[in-house]
Structure 1
Amino acid sequence: MPGVIPYLIRAYCSWIEDSNLTPYLLVDCSVDGVFVPKGFIKKGKIVLNIGTSAASDKQITNEQITFRARFNGKSEKIIVPCHAVLSIYAQENGEGMVFANKTEDDAKKPGLKILE
């Protein structure tokens, strides 16, 4: 069963753009499979504008987010596994969602507690 994070990313991206705002991602660049321009990484993280005007050929699948974007005038292919996304938010007002950084092992553990 796929995780919920890709569905939330797609929903928030649509909601933010429908509100005429700009969706941004905060990405953990230490996660395997993240391909972004190294010169823009700060403290192991990168902020990416995934708005329609900045990200061409954008695809958000259940595994990853891919698109082309310009960095210093050069078009770059960006690949971000969904589990590397720390948050999605509107640049203009900060509305969005923060995702818990869970390992794959944590995701497999049940999250229920027995109450007495």
Structure 2
Amino acid sequence: MISNRPYMIRAMFDWIVDNDWTPHVQVDANYPGIEVPMDFAQDGVIVLNVHPNAIRELQFANDWFSFKARFQGVERRLGFPPEAVLAIFARENGQGMPFPPEPYPEATDESPSKPTMSAVKDSGASDEASQKTAQKADQDDESKKSKAKKSKKGSHLSVVK
């Protein structure tokens, strides 16, 4: 099934512009393959003004959004898949639509490979310190389990205002 995300983004974009507001998109700056100026990303997110007066050559295809925008006077081509969009909203009043984060696509042969971590098999030789550490961890786990069994009370939620 085709994702409804690009359709919803386009619809919200049109609605925001039709109301004479300024549409902004919040994009996951860590999403693989995106083309955005990372200098302007904060906490893994970049917010982009996509008002028709602020950008040029806007293309909202089902699989790729692209446009040209100026950053500190330098024009750049930006591009990202709709899956990287976390929200579209109006700057003036915050009205818009959030989207749940999408899982990153699996790496393909064409994409550059990133270093990965893998488990290292035990060679069979273990020293006394590592054995003691493992025993201590096992004891801590057992202690936590027994405490959890003893305290089977209801949840302790409190309202924070």
Q: Normalising by structure 1, report the TM-score.
A: 0.86
Residues in 2 aligned to 1:25 and 1:102: alpha-carbon distance in whole angstroms = 15
Gaps of 5+ in 1: 106-116
User: Could you report, residue by residue, the CA deviation over 1:47-91 in whole angstroms, capped at 9, with x for unpaired residues?
Assistant: 001110111000001011100000000000000110000000000
One-letter identity of the residue aligned with 2:34: V
Aligned to 2:35: 35
One-letter identity of the residue aligned with 1:13: F
User: How far did residue 102 of structure 1 move?
Assistant: 3.0
One-letter identity of the residue aligned with 2:13: C
User: How far did residue 96 of structure 1 move?
Assistant: 0.2
Residues in 2 aligned to 1:37 and 1:55: alpha-carbon distance in whole angstroms = 14
User: How far did residue 28 of structure 1 move?
Assistant: 0.3
Find runs of 4+ consecutive structure 1 residues off by over 3 angstroms. Answer: none
Gaps of 5+ in 2: 106-161
One-letter identity of the residue aligned with 2:45: K
Alignment of 1:73-84 (within 5 A): 73-84=73-84
Q: What percent of counterpart residues are identical?
A: 40
Aligned to 1:55: 55
Aligned pair 1:89/2:112, yes or no? no
Residues in 1 aligned to 2:25 and 2:36: alpha-carbon distance in whole angstroms = 12
Aligned to 2:101: 101
Q: Normalising by structure 2, report the TM-score.
A: 0.63
Contact 2:32 2:104 in 1 (8 A): no
Asked which structure has the greater CA Rg, the reply is 2
Q: Which has the higher contact order (CA 8 A, sep 6+)?
A: 1
Alignment of 1:15-34 (within 5 A): 15-34=15-34
Residues in 1 aligned to 2:68 and 2:94: alpha-carbon distance in whole angstroms = 24
| Paired positions, count | 105
